[in-house]
Amino acid sequence: MKDACGVVGIVAADKPVAFWCFDALFALQHRGQESAGMAIFDGEDIAVVKDEGLVYSVFDERVLMAMHGEYVIGHTRYATQGVANWTAAQPVYRQSGRAGFALGHNGNLTNTDLLADKAGILPGMMLSDSDLIAELLAQRVDAGNSLREGLAHVLPTLEGAYSLVMLESDAVHGVRDPFGFRPLCLGRFGSEESPDGWILASESPALDVVGATLVREIRPGEMVTLTKQGVTSVQLMEPASDREKLCIFEFVYFARPDSYLMGHQVHTARRRMGELLAGQSTVDADLVMGVPDSGVPAAEGYAAASGITFGYGLVKNRYIGRTFIAPDQNARAIAVRRKFNPLRENIDGKRLVVVDDSIVRGTTTRALVTMLRDAGAAEVHLRISSPPFMWPCYYGIDTPTRDDLLAAQYSIDEIRTYIGCDSIEYITLANLRSAIRLDGECCDACLTGNYPSSIPPSSGLWDAGK
């Protein structure tokens, strides 16, 4: 599974905001590796620099030195909708209004066809749902409205998931959809008494890396506006329910372990997932290991609660960029071998408890289990820190159709046989929620089929949604 992007917005007078935006995007690289970009207002115009590739391959010191200004937004992209090449890299720019405006989007809209139809936009004219939002705003601004007026009109018509950052000549805006599917937080540079800048970012580590202090998370339906005078907030749309619907997989898998979401540190939640998973059943084993990276904190928790020794069994290559696979090779097995290598002396002859965060298609998990057995594991007992993944996501995560979701097609015992492990157990939804210590609710539609917002007609699942 891949997340659908990271966003950043910064306003600070007489500061190296392009360099800060670069560092913040670098901290959000895990949220999108297909392309990266920034838009900066230089006092007269908005300049946009974006390209395919990782943040450090799109920007270098020479480029950043040439990016002057006090207002900047940035984006890292993984495409869940639209084309996946440089033309759809973000921020998206439109030449409407005083200096135009630029927009970065994390999420996925579910009513794009309807929106395009109403606005008289021909199917196929837009590069992505983010491009469509920009076009809808541009139509409003070209008709004589301010960008703020355009946002107040357009945003309530959008359905699905969106955490947006937008740049215009005198402000950076940040907004979350009324469900709050994707995260967005606000940070401050300098002291509370005399702040000297503001930052918006998908996750709090992007604030830490530039020395900003986390102020708070943006509320569902809220729009904040950052200017050199300070921060203003408007509840642009009423929250869709009295409970936030942040994606539960942000806690399980997507977010960095050092992120704070809904006031909770992600690493702590993952460790508790392992503790509670261990309490669901017992198994005789010699070693508990996690599948790096997000399975490791849960494995630590499992080991602590079960009393079984914790250890490392896999080394992960962190530098996987663009790779190539010969047509006659087994693509999944090659991909797994490139990414993971077993620590043979740690696992040879051992009965392993292997903790992973999720099983989607099952092909990767199956290749991993084969790898561990080939390296000498005597037994492999899989423990999964999310419940069975049974429904596709339409809110900004790239998932296969229901036909390709292993848990939607097979029983737990059939899954065990297919994967080739000795036993398998998933955390229960109640334990997952307890591990996160939810005050409210999260979206868990891919686990339950209870879609909180509309899903596209093309899904063929309309009966499943609530």
Binding site for ligand SF4 (CB under 6 A): 181, 247-249, 393, 395, 397, 443-446
Compute the least distance from the CB of residue 466 to ligand SF4, in Å. Answer: 13
CA of 445: how far to CAs of 321, 388, 393, in Å?
31, 11, 7
Compute the least distance from the CB of residue 91 to ligand SF4, in Å. Answer: 23
Of 93 and 251, CB closest to ligand SF4: 251
User: Which distant-in-sequence residues (6+ apart) come within 8 Å of 289 by Cβ?
Assistant: 299, 310, 311, 312, 313, 314, 346, 347, 352, 353, 354, 355
Active site residue 442: no
The burial of 82, by beta-carbon neighbours within 10 Å (0-12 exposed, 13-18 middle, 19 or more buried), is given as middle
Q: Report the alpha-carbon distance of residue 164 to residue 155 in Å, rounded.
A: 10
- DSSP string computed for 299-338: HHHHHHHH-PPB---EEE-TT--S----TTS-HHHHHHHH
Of 37 and 160, CB closest to ligand SF4: 160
Compute the least distance from the CB of residue 394 to ligand SF4, in Å. Answer: 7
Instruction: Print burial letters for 308-332: b (CB count within 10 Å at least 16), e (below 16).
Output: bebbebbeeeeeeeeeeeeeeeeee
Pairing of strands 230-235, 222-227: antiparallel
Of 233 and 459, CB closest to ligand SF4: 459
- φ/ψ region of 205 (left if φ > 0, alpha if ψ in -120 to 50, else beta) reads alpha
Of 168 and 244, CB closest to ligand SF4: 244
The answer to whether the CB of 80 falls within 8 A of the CB of 34 is no
Compute the least distance from the CB of residue 266 to ligand SF4, in Å. Answer: 14
Of 55 and 248, CB closest to ligand SF4: 248
Query: For the chain, what's the residue count?
Result: 466
Of 248 and 375, CB closest to ligand SF4: 248
Task: Tell me if residue 448 falls in helix, strand or coil.
Answer: helix
Compute the least distance from the CB of residue 247 to ligand SF4, in Å. Answer: 3
Compute the least distance from the CB of residue 445 to ligand SF4, in Å. Answer: 4
Q: Report the alpha-carbon distance of residue 452 to residue 429 in Å, rounded.
A: 17
Q: Which residue numbers are catalytic? A: 5
